[in-house]
Structure 1
């Protein structure tokens, strides 16, 4: 999950020296933030033509050379903006004389205390995001994005013929057959009798690699994960990807959040057999961010022609 910051400040040297502090605070809670893509800064608000609501936090120097903080306040209020805003100043004047304490989501501090103020407001705001009910929906969306990235990687590898018919038959076809046979056994077990339904090697001899991978009903989450593990292992240079670890860190947690009931026990919020904590939520987001970086890096490498297949 990405976190975006908008800064209005005309001291570029200070911004460059402070970006890493914001990144460290945000990433430590499991959120993704790229200092070049997710932290935007302008020397005044007239140079900004975007949407305030696309940002999670706005930081404003109250004493810009070309514009006073009051003008930015008016612009933000005019657009009925509800994202948290922190105004800061280098001097010792009381910002509270300019800003109404009744305005929810607008804060003020001195520049030397900005990092501390940002940290407190950031932590307070993500408590709402990391609430169990919110977390369920966020994790569903984030894991769906991971699944899409896996499919994009396989499709790109096919387009570049890194996954060709030979690779498919040698590496992926046995997985497909094994998966189908396992599902057949499971169907028999739950039905209590032999189901008139059979998967054999011969059944699929007529189908090729493209048929399987483009069949979205068949090429499901489990097969994408296994296909990715085979592909990453065969690439030169190889990409480290442990499918068992991915299952434990991502898919199992996603499934628990999707299906386990929520309840309270001894003043602790629980789902299934697990106690829900802020640290648990942090870990989930960090793991999602880690795999998203791996998958996006693989896509960039494939697009640039960085990878070959071991022959």
Structure 2
């Protein structure tokens, strides 16, 4: 489960929708979410049929946006919607330079229900956000939030592994032998393991050793040592964020995985081990921190991977 709001977007004018997307992403960001748009600007069968097949099997989109005028002679947003509605019953926003009432009449003639109709214009991002905003209340559901936190930290764990493997592949900041040695010292400090078992674990292929055998604490500490060796301003900034990883992210992953929900005043809530129930604002703060750390890890990956 990701902290992304996923959009399937049909419009032939990519420059226009990218501007709307940018504005919409700014509105979504305070919720700790990132807008991820799959933008479709071609509407031939070779492009549309795989999308329909994807929707039929498993729709991974939170909402579908469709423009009326697709710049095609034989395909409009309305005729496209007749195909989309066969495979997806999720939320859809239909927009056009036409008035919303005209769009509703078109959809009524085609027997298409459950579609929001808005005007295409300078307020399109605002109108879209006013429709999707209520869905963000799902963040308050403890199990949805639990899934986002655990899933996001798992994704960041893979990013940490990828960073370390890129480092040893280049052997510029830390060799594979040195990484193994430092990691073994970390394993000795963090777990009880016999000498033979530790030696066997440490001799595994480097990708297995890094990805499967090292915990988050060890991975973070190894990367911090590399950032210290790089020593430029960017690495220092990345290091400062990474040092807060356990306090701002990993502790919540541990709690999300192990702490049970509670009922408070008739509502199901998520409660930390030593804290009062987490309200919506608390959940938003954690999600914003998750996004910040993901961005930071991607910056580190770019930093260590540059020539």
Superposed pair shares fold, TM > 0.5: yes
Find the counterpart in structure 1 of residue 106 from structure 2: 98
Match of 1:140 among 107, 126, 150: 150
Cα distance in 2 between the residues matched to 1:107 and 1:68: 16
Cα distance in 2 between the residues matched to 1:206 and 1:141: 30
Match of 1:75 among 83, 86, 91: 83
Instruction: State the TM-score, normalizing by the size of structure 2.
Output: 0.76
Match of 1:110 among 95, 119, 142: 119
Cα distance in 1 between the residues matched to 2:141 and 2:198: 46
Find the counterpart in structure 1 of residue 96 from structure 2: 89
Cα distance in 2 between the residues matched to 1:45 and 1:28: 37
Q: Computing the radius of gyration over CA atoms, which structure comes out larger, 1 or 2?
A: 1
Deviates more, 1:65-74 or 1:132-141: 65-74
| Distance verdict in 2 for CA 1:246–1:129, change over 3 Å | same
Cα pair 2:20 2:124 within 8 Å, conserved: no
Cα pair 2:163 2:300 within 8 Å, conserved: yes
Q: Deviations over 1:209-252 (max 9, x none)?
A: 87788536642222112112112222253252245411111111
| Distance verdict in 2 for CA 1:234–1:88, change over 3 Å | same
| Distance verdict in 2 for CA 1:297–1:96, change over 3 Å | same
Cα distance in 1 between the residues matched to 2:157 and 2:292: 14
- The Cα RMSD (Å) is 3.4
Which residues of structure 1 form unaligned runs of 5+?
185-196, 306-311
| Structure with the bigger percentage of helix | 2
Cα distance in 2 between the residues matched to 1:12 and 1:204: 54
- How many residue pairs were aligned? 283
Report matched runs for 1:22-171 at 5 Å: 22-33=24-35, 38-42=37-41, 44=43, 46=45, 47-49=47-49, 50=51, 51-52=54-55, 53-66=59-72, 67-78=75-86, 80-92=87-99, 93-99=101-107, 103-104=113-114, 106-112=115-121, 113-162=123-172, 163-164=174-175, 167-168=178-179
Runs of 4+ in 1 over 6 A off after TM superposition: 203-213
SS of residue paired to 1:99: helix
| Distance verdict in 2 for CA 1:180–1:98, change over 3 Å | same
Which residues of structure 2 form unaligned runs of 5+?
none
| Distance verdict in 2 for CA 1:139–1:204, change over 3 Å | closer
